[in-house]
Each structure stands twice: as C-alpha cells, then as structure tokens.
Amino acid sequence: MILLLRSDETLQEKVIQDHIQLAPKRKLTPDLERGFMLLFIALAHANLFLFSADREITMTDQISVFLRQLFIDSRAFPLFAILFGYGLHKLYARQEMKESPWRETKKILKRRGGWMLVIGFLHASLFFKDIIGVYGFIALVFAEQLLRLSNRKMIGLAVTLLTLVGIIAPFMPRGFETLAAAGTAVMENPIEASLIRMFEWIFYTPFLSYQYIPGVLIGILIGRSGFLDNPELHKKTLAGIAMIGLSLSIAGAIPLAMRSSLLWSVEGEIAAAAAKILHITTGYAGGAGWTALIGLIVVRLNGNQGRFVRSIAALGQRSLSFYLFQSVMFVLILAPFAGSLGGHLGQMGSDIIALLVWTLSVLLAAVLAGKSLRGPFESFLRRKSRLS
C-alpha cells in the first residue's frame, strides 16, 4: 500500500512537472511592443488637450508637430491594430491547442468584444475620444470570420480595405488642425463635452472599423508566422520589414508633416488630398516597421533584460489599463476644467507631459509586476470572457 501511495505521489509530481514545462511562457517581444505603443499613443494624444488660442506658434511647435507627423500620427494606431490582431490569433491558437469547440471560442470573442464596447463607451463618456470600442466592435462582429480566413484571402481583404482608406482619406479631418486645437478635449464644460463624445462614439465606432481591420489582419498574419514569438529565427525578414516599412512610412508622411507644421504652405485641393492619402496609407507600413524593429531589439538583447526593459514589458502586459490611465492623467493635468495646464503649453510641452505620463506608467506597471498583479481592466476582461 505504501509503495502504491509513493508511486501515485511520484506520478502526480511528474504530471505537475510536465505541466510546468508545457505551460507557455510570456513572450517578451509583444509585451515590449505594447509598452512602446503606449508611448506613441501618449505622444499622439497629449497635444489634443492644448487650448491656448492666442499663443504664438513657435519654431519649436512646428518642429514638434513635424516629427510627430513623421513618426507617430497615423503610425500609432496601425501598431495598436497589429498587436490587437496578434492577440486575437494567440487567443484562437490557445483555444485550438485545448481542442475547445469553435462555438466556445466564438462566445469568448463576442464576450470580450462586448465588454470592450462597454469600456470604450465609458471611456469616451468620461474622458476622451475612444478607440477601445472600435476594437471591441471588430472582436464582436468580425473576429470569428477574420481568424478563419486563409492567408491569401486576408491579404486580398487588407489590400481592398487599404484602397478604401485611400479613397476616403481626403475627406477626413487629419493633420491640418494640429496647430489649431479644437474638439471636446479642450471644451471648458465637461458635461457638454461628454454628451458630444457619447453621441459621436455611437457613429464613429462602427464606421472606423474599416481603417483598423487591415492592421488587425497584418497582426493575425504575424501571429501565424511566429515573427513575434521567435524573432531570433526571423532576423533577416524582420530587418527587411523594418527597413522597407519605416522607409515607406517616413517618405509618405513628409508632405502632410510639412503642411501640418506650416513648413510648407503650398495650397490646392489636389496637393492636400494627396498628402492625406500618402500619410494614412503608408502609416500601416510604419506600424509593421515599428513591430519588426522592436522584434530586432529583443533579438539584440539576447535575453539580457535589464530592469527598464522588464518594466516596459510589464507595462505592455497591462496596456489596456494604462491606456485608460493616460486619459485620466491628461484630463487631470491638461484639460481646461481640471489642471488646465494645456492652456499654458506649446506642442513641445505636451510631448514632455506625454513622456512623463508614460514614464509614470512604466514605474507603476513595474510595481504591479513586483506584486504579481494584473492590470485591473485586463483582470476584468479575463473574468468576463470566461465561459460559465
């Protein structure tokens, strides 16, 4: 009997050890990507809270806007979309590994998408224009179809939607208002601003999905390829994507960056339309380029992760929570009905605030990681997405 008990204990220990060995470890690359993504988003958003109408535009303002248009604006959201698509693929792959029925996977996707819509609506109502709802809408309505497309169909759909993006781009208010702040972020009455954002959110959340789906498709393809999971095996491919993607992105951004920063004053509807088309369509190349470049950085680290790198990865693991945290901080610091610092800063000042808020986010994420705590909204989504 004792021998049998010992045999059972040995068997149980072996099962536990096998489970530990088979349990997938978090990959550094996607977490580091998400952490840096939040810096890009902070830089893209903080300047929208500037509201000093009589402040003279300086050369520093112009240079700051030029650099943001070159590297960040319309490049941050494709990176976000790529990482969201990658995350959808990983969820789908985990369900497949567990041999879960497809109907269960669909329920998880729809639950997650539905709750992201709720979070997005509250975010738009209380703080800022929202993109979480767009991703929730994509997860709820389109994810089950997108995840099961063949690679060829994905590429064809992405090209079709990118063409649509290019056609619609000239009619979108993008770039030219950068040095002339307008919108709900700078309204003095928070209730009025909230009501406007709630009304706008209902319409732009489904409408903008066509812009984000190409990035989501790229992310699913990247997930299938293993580029982010094992970047050391794809160094040449990543180097090519980084070089081509960022080169196209920078070249395509120059016309609009020059116009937005008032460094180029050429008039004409054709020139304006062409600048917008180039800027937004090449932004997807920029998103892919940044994705590949950060993958190469991980390869370069070669496992030597310092405290700073681990902290950025910890931020990436909690990206939803700290995306919302950024909005709260920008309102508290910059909004006219709160800290009102946005009435005293220029474009460079808003970039400094963005960097400081991101740095604070990194520090707080490191504290949470040290205590083995998930982000509150990640925990909420994980709990609500489970099947009863």
For the chain, what are the domain ranges?
27-385
Tens of pLDDT, residues 258-300: 988 888 776 777 888 888 899 999 999 999 999 999 999 988 8
User: What type of residue is 134?
Assistant: V
pLDDT at 173: 57
> Which range, of 4-18, 21-35, 325-339, averages the lowest pLDDT?
4-18
Vertex 289 angle, CA 347 and 141, to 5°: 90
- Taking 60 as the threshold, does the pLDDT of residue 19 lie above it? no
Closest CA to 301 of 26, 25, 29: 29
| Residue 368 near residue 313, CB atoms below 8 Å | no
pLDDT at 99: 87
> Which range, of 105-114, 122-131, 236-245, 369-378, averages the lowest pLDDT?
122-131
Handedness of CA 120, 87, 381, 93 (dihedral sign): positive
Q: Could you tell me which residue, 168 or 86, shows the higher pLDDT? A: 86
Furthest C-alpha separation in the chain: 91
Handedness of CA 229, 231, 233, 237 (dihedral sign): positive
Radius of gyration of the chain (CA): 22
Mean pLDDT score across all residues of the chain = 86
Tens of pLDDT, residues 234-261: 999 999 999 999 999 999 999 999 988 8
pLDDT at 242: 95
Handedness of CA 22, 308, 31, 363 (dihedral sign): positive
Handedness of CA 136, 138, 139, 140 (dihedral sign): positive
- Taking 60 as the threshold, does the pLDDT of residue 310 lie above it? yes
- Taking 90 as the threshold, does the pLDDT of residue 149 lie above it? yes
> Which range, of 32-41, 59-68, 80-89, 293-302, averages the lowest pLDDT?
293-302
The Cα–Cα gap between 117 and 130 comes to 10
Q: Could you tell me which residue, 4 or 134, shows the higher pLDDT? A: 134
How much of the chain exceeds pLDDT 70, in percent? 88
Residue 233 CA to its chain's centroid (Å): 25
The Cα–Cα gap between 329 and 356 comes to 10
Residue 159 confidence class, pLDDT cut points 50, 70, 90 = very high
Residue 194 CA to its chain's centroid (Å): 23
- Taking 90 as the threshold, does the pLDDT of residue 304 lie above it? no
Q: How many CB atoms lie within 10 A of CB 294?
A: 24
HEC string of 247-294 equals HHHHHHHHHHHHHHCCCCCCCCHHHHHHHHHHHHHHHHHHHHHHHHHH
Residue 178 confidence class, pLDDT cut points 50, 70, 90 = low
Residue 305 CA to its chain's centroid (Å): 23
The Cα–Cα gap between 332 and 326 comes to 10
- Residue showing tokens 């939040």: 38
DSSP string computed for 5-34: HHHHHHHHHHHHHHHHHHSPPPPHHHHHHH
162: left (phi over 0), alpha (psi -120 to 50) or beta: alpha
